[in-house]
Amino acid sequence: MTKRNYTDPSILSSDITPESVFLNRRSLIKSATVAAVAGSTAIPSTSASAGQAAEQPLNYAPQEEHPLTSEQTPIEAVTSYNNFYEFGTDKSDPARHAHTMTTDPWSVKVGGLVANPGELHLEDLLSGFDLEERIYRFRCVEAWSMVVPWVGFPLADLLTRFEPLSEGRFVEFKTLHRPGEMRGTRSFTSVIDWPYREGLRLDEAMHPLTLMAVGLYGKTLPNQNGAPLRLVVPWKYGFKSIKSIVEINVTAEQPQTSWQSLQPSEYGFYANVNPEVDHPRWSQRYERRLPSSIFKPNRVPTLAFNGYEAEVASLYQGMDLSRYY
């Protein structure tokens, strides 16, 4: 399997979330050699619940020294401070409850306006694509942020396999909906119409920065971070980066997305990070980079397109970004 490496020189090493905060478990030994597991699914550990894969090393080319490395978000923060409403609305709920989600076996259906609709299984995702590490800023619409070293492959590589038809203009994504394993979907107070849905324009989906992540910090994704497959669109607010994907469809019409359907005045379809367009209930000019506290808030200015303006601004040329927010 070809190994590739991606480097964003604008991200300082110190910006990357420390591994200890991200995974909420012991730090990975930096000098350890990542073991090849291509061609096999993750092996459950003795402490994992039935059907839940323990995080395993991935076969990929580790990122070279990166400007963001020294500021990485601690791994404990990345894996213990999450939005995954299928397991509860508190930031700590996913880390407490997501172990109940079965991630092995797993498959993803790809269909809609494609020439070759089909299905990918977990082993296809881990061994069938060239995995690379990408250190990305991650900005939540709630005005907190992280820097995360993801492992994955471009979404374009996946879509190309299924050959989108000329009339396809958008890509729709759906998250797993399994109430027996996802306590948040059984809640009487839940406001989301499950399953969770998201979407991109096809040109956004095919952009080289758009990543299908299967791991972080060199290992397969923890359940609370969207195991075994999630989307990462670094120039958009985090709710666009849908977790635990089971279905992908190419469509002619703009798909209905969960948060846009729930509250369109607050959560637009595009959700591009924009410090000039505030959320109706708070400013987006600054963000709280984790880890932070009341006494050490670690407040930093928000960058246009989350710092990826040079790469993606051309996608929105001529658009009113306060209207298409």
pLDDT score for 68: 73
34/194 Cα distance (integer angstroms): 37
**Residue 194 phi/psi, 5° resolution?**
-70, 150
Residues 76-121 pLDDT 10s: 999 999 999 999 999 999 999 999 999 999 999 999 999 999 999 9
pLDDT score for 11: 62
Instruction: Please report, as a single letter, which amino acid is at residue 199.
Output: G
Number of domains observed in the structure of the chain: 1
Q: Let me know: does 221 contact 52? Beta carbons within 8 Å.
A: no
156/205 Cα distance (integer angstroms): 7
Residue with tokens 């607010």, as numbered in its chain: 237
Higher pLDDT, 8 or 163: 163
Q: Does any domain span residue 90?
A: yes
pLDDT score for 67: 77
Any idea what the CATH number is for the domain that residue 168 is in? 3.90.420.10
Q: Let me know: does 256 contact 241? Beta carbons within 8 Å.
A: no
325/279 Cα distance (integer angstroms): 10
- 115 exposed, middle or buried (CB, 10 Å; 0-12, 13-18, 19+)? exposed
pLDDT score for 5: 52
Tell me: pLDDT of 291 over 50. Answer: yes
Check residue 115 and report its DSSP letter.
S
Whole-Å CA distances, 229 to 6, 68, 202, 214, 318: 19, 24, 19, 5, 33
Residues 231-252 pLDDT 10s: 999 999 999 999 999 999 999 9
What does the block give as tokens for 80?
């213990």
Q: Does any domain span residue 325?
A: no
Give the largest CA-CA distance in the chain. Answer: 55
- Identify the three-state secondary structure at position 69: helix
Query: Which residue segment(s) compose the domain that 273 sits in?
Result: 4-316
> Residue 223 contacts by C-beta under 8 Å, 6 or more apart in sequence?
52, 94, 98, 99, 101, 103, 244
Work out the number of other CB atoms within 10 angstroms of the CB of residue 311: 15
Shortest CA distance to 149 belongs to which of 220, 216, 221, 227? 216
Of the chain, the percentage scoring pLDDT greater than 90 comes to 76
Q: Does any domain span residue 165?
A: yes
Q: Does any domain span residue 168?
A: yes
Residue with tokens 């090493």, as numbered in its chain: 13
299/292 Cα distance (integer angstroms): 8
Q: Does any domain span residue 323?
A: no
- Identify the three-state secondary structure at position 62: coil
Residues 33-53 pLDDT 10s: 233 333 333 323 334 554 566
| Least confident segment among 43-57, 134-148, 286-300 | 43-57
Q: Does any domain span residue 278?
A: yes
Q: Does any domain span residue 13?
A: yes
Q: Does any domain span residue 324?
A: no
If residue 258 lies in a helix (H) or strand (E), which one and from where to where?
Answer: helix 258-262
pLDDT score for 2: 46
Q: Per the omega criterion (within 30 degrees of 0), is the bond before 105 cis?
A: yes
Number of H helices, E strands in the chain: 8, 13
